Amino acid sequence: MQQFTIHAAKTNLSRLIEAALRGEDVIIARGSKPMVRLVPVAQGAFKVGLLKGKLGPGPDFFEPVGDDDLDLWEGGR
């Protein structure tokens, strides 16, 4: 565990980020009192089209609406 003062952390921020990315514990302290821990953000794998082919066809919004449905939308019964 490495502990740095706020001033030292501002001066060496790039180095501290690299240390955190390597898995090292980086603590930033105010004076001698630990205040925060610098940790990397988890990088999830983002995949486009994850559900492609699993949901089936969706509604076709460009097809004409049937008369019964149109009456309901327009307030008729």
Q: What is the pLDDT of residues 37-73, one digit of tens each?
A: 999 998 887 788 888 888 888 778 888 888 888 888 8
Residue 59 lies in a domain: no
3 state SS of 27: strand
Residue 60 lies in a domain: no
Q: pLDDT by residue (tens digit) across 19-39?
A: 999 999 999 999 999 999 999
Question: What is the span of the domain harbouring residue 26?
Answer: 2-38
Three-class HEC string of 46-76: CCCCCCCCCCCCCCCCCCCCCHHHHHHHCCC
Please give the Cα distance from 16 to 59 (Å, whole number).
Answer: 51
Across 33-60, b (16+ Cβ under 10 Å) vs e yields eeeeebeeeeeeeeeeeeeeeeeeeeee
Residue 25 lies in a domain: yes
Residue 49 lies in a domain: no
The number of folded domains in the chain is 1
Residue 16 lies in a domain: yes
| Predicted TM-score (pTM) above 0.85 | no
Task: Supply the pLDDT for residue 9.
Answer: 96
